[in-house]
């Protein structure tokens, strides 16, 4: 007998790409499984997933891995919308899509039986739809196991009325949390803003409660990367956690870019000595003021290292119109031989180049996993979302990155000086530094993890066993 899983990823490109990768692995691992991925419309006012990417996915649908675009018709507003409200608005559409799926299957011989929902960490409301169809739900957690553990701990403290973090002063607090899934005290000032926000804290703690109702949790991490955290999580009262990463879309790592500037940068990298170039890139939402951009430029020039710098402005988000007017006078002339500056960069293609020896990053979890995969040490510069936690984990907990500044304010006020940036770049690019050695070792472990007998493949098999066990219990 065959079985179908319905996958509801969050409509952000970082979430969606990793969801597609885990879905491919699941159907490849067990030919009894098929998956339907429901592609929700983008959040109004948030990050847009290109329609061409969604179309390209839907065009690759087959009888075991299907993509269905959920229309944004009847979207209630084009105004910026809170994530949880947007997901709630999609519930009726998902219910209808799944009902049609079940009805279509019922008319076909040897059609798969609905076996469960896999929902993104922001899509936990979809468990209500799963309950209506009387099938279990599983969580797909796109961030680290460490952040998952922090979220569970904060939810417990909040429910026990022992969580007194104030939104107005948490970033200036010297208090620390003893988080069971971390080996070191966690500074309150490193909390993601949502875990201090009066608006978001109740939403996030409610999500954590929903996580506890799941039958299992797939996490985009590696057992060898977060062993302590995973041991604590799997020894507690939460659902079983399966580390199945790193889930990376590596199809364009060779750098087949058609954009002239990007192609020129990749060609230039091919001509540079191994591990001689520092790469600076801060994600699709990571931008800076003109003043901060000038400080980075000064640091790069003073460091003496070759560089590739992907630079974007903070407000309005996007690329600077005339960088020569923004950066120090003569910067491009003085660094012409050893540096390249561009707007958007093909990050995986750049990181895969042997010339790249260091990565100054915003610490998005996908970027962190990509850097580890390619064995490129990082300097942590968190800007938003959960990135302060990722920076703490990589620098302090796992000692796999260097820091630029110990603590960050969520509102991005103040300027990180050229001296701080230069110091971090020089530390990052030391060829015999301990971080570089540790990252190289972890990179090798990540590659082994995804092999047939590796830890991530073993975890994937255990997850599939869990799915079939729950089917058997329901029969």
Model pLDDT for residues 102-148, shown as the tens digit of each residue:
998 888 888 899 999 999 999 999 999 999 999 999 999 999 999 99
What integer pLDDT is reported at residue 58 of this predicted model?
86
- Spatial CB neighbours of 452, under 8 Å, sequence gap ≥ 6: none
Report the length, in residues, of the chain. 475
CATH architecture of 260-447: 3-Layer(aba) Sandwich (3.40)
CA distance 341 to 355: 16
- Ordered DSSP codes for 14-79: HHHHHHHHHHHHHHHH-TTEEEEEEEPPPPTTSPPPPHHHHHHHHHT--SSEEEEEPP-TT-S-SS
Q: Where are the domains of the chain?
A: 3-142+214-245+451-474, 260-447
Contacts of the segment 393-400: beta carbons below 8 A, 24+ positions apart? 393/144, 393/146, 393/147, 393/182, 394/363, 394/368, 396/184, 397/146, 397/182, 397/183, 397/184, 398/225, 398/226, 399/434, 399/435, 399/438, 400/372, 400/435, 400/438, 400/439, 400/442
pLDDT over 50 at 256, yes or no:
no
pLDDT confidence band for 255 (50 / 70 / 90): very low
In this predicted structure, which of 177-191, 238-252, 297-311 has the lowest mean pLDDT? Answer: 238-252
- Spatial CB neighbours of 430, under 8 Å, sequence gap ≥ 6: 436
What integer pLDDT is reported at residue 261 of this predicted model?
87
Pairing state of beta strands 186-187 and 113-120? unpaired
User: Which neighbouring-strand residues pair with 340?
Assistant: 308
pLDDT confidence band for 318 (50 / 70 / 90): confident
User: Which neighbouring-strand residues pair with 37?
Assistant: 7, 67
* Per-residue pLDDT tens digits for 60-89: 999 899 999 998 876 656 667 799 999 999
Half-sphere exposure of 15 (CA within 13 A, CB side): 23
Half-sphere exposure of 272 (CA within 13 A, CB side): 26
* Per-residue pLDDT tens digits for 200-229: 999 999 999 999 999 999 999 999 999 999
Pick the CATH number of 3-142+214-245+451-474 from 3.40.50.2000, 3.40.50.360, 3.90.1140.10, 3.30.450.40: 3.40.50.2000
DSSP single-letter state for residue 254? T
Judge whether 3-142+214-245+451-474 and 260-447 match in fold.
yes
């Amino acid at each position: 007998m065959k079985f179908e899983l319905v996958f509801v990823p969050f409509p952000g490109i970082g979430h969606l790409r990793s969801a597609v990768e885990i879905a491919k692995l699941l159907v490849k691992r067990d030919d009894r499984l098929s998956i339907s991925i429901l592609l929700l419309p983008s959040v109004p006012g948030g990050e847009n997933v290109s329609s061409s990417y969604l179309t390209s996915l839907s065009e690759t649908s087959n009888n075991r891995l299907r993509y269905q675009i959920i229309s944004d018709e009847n979207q209630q507003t084009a105004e910026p919308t809170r994530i949880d409200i947007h997901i709630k608005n999609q519930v009726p559409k998902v219910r209808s899509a799944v009902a049609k799926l079940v009805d279509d299957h019922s008319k076909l011989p040897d059609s798969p039986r609905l076996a469960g929902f896999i929902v993104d960490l922001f899509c936990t409301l979809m468990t209500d739809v799963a309950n209506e169809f009387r099938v279990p739900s599983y969580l797909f957690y796109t961030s680290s196991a460490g952040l998952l553990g922090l979220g569970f701990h904060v939810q417990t403290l909040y429910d026990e009325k022992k969580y007194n973090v104030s939104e107005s002063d948490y970033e200036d607090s010297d208090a620390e949390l003893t988080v069971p899934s971390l080996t070191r005290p966690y500074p309150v000032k490193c909390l993601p803003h949502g875990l201090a926000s009066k608006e978001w804290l109740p939403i996030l703690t409610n999500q954590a409660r929903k996580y506890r109702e799941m039958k299992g949790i797939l996490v985009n991490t590696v057992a060898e990367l977060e062993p302590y955290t995973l041991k604590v999580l799997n020894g507690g009262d939460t659902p079983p956690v399966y580390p199945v990463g790193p889930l990376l879309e590596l199809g364009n790592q060779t750098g087949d870019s058609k954009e002239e500037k990007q192609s020129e940068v990749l060609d230039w990298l091919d001509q540079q000595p191994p591990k001689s170039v520092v790469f600076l890139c801060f994600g699709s939402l990571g931008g800076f003021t003109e003043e901060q951009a000038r400080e980075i430029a000064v640091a790069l020039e003073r460091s003496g290292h070759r560089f590739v710098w992907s630079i974007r402005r903070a407000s309005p988000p996007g690329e600077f119109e005339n960088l020569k007017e923004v950066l120090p006078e003569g910067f491009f002339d003085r660094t012409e031989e050893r540096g390249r500056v561009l707007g958007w960069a093909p990050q995986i293609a750049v990181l895969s180049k042997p010339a790249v020896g260091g990565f100054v990053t915003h610490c998005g979890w996908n970027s962190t996993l990509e850097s580890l995969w390619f064995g490129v040490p990082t300097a942590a510069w968190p800007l938003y979302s959960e990135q302060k936690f990722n920076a703490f984990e990589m620098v302090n907990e796992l000692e796999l990155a260097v820091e630029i500044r110990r603590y960050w304010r969520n509102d991005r006020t103040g300027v990180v000086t050229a001296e701080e940036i230069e110091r971090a770049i020089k530390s990052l690019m030391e060829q015999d530094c301990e971080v570089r050695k540790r990252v190289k070792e972890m990179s090798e472990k990540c590659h082994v993890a995804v092999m047939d007998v590796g830890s991530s493949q073993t975890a994937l098999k255990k997850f599939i066993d869990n799915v079939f066990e729950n089917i058997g219990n329901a029969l």
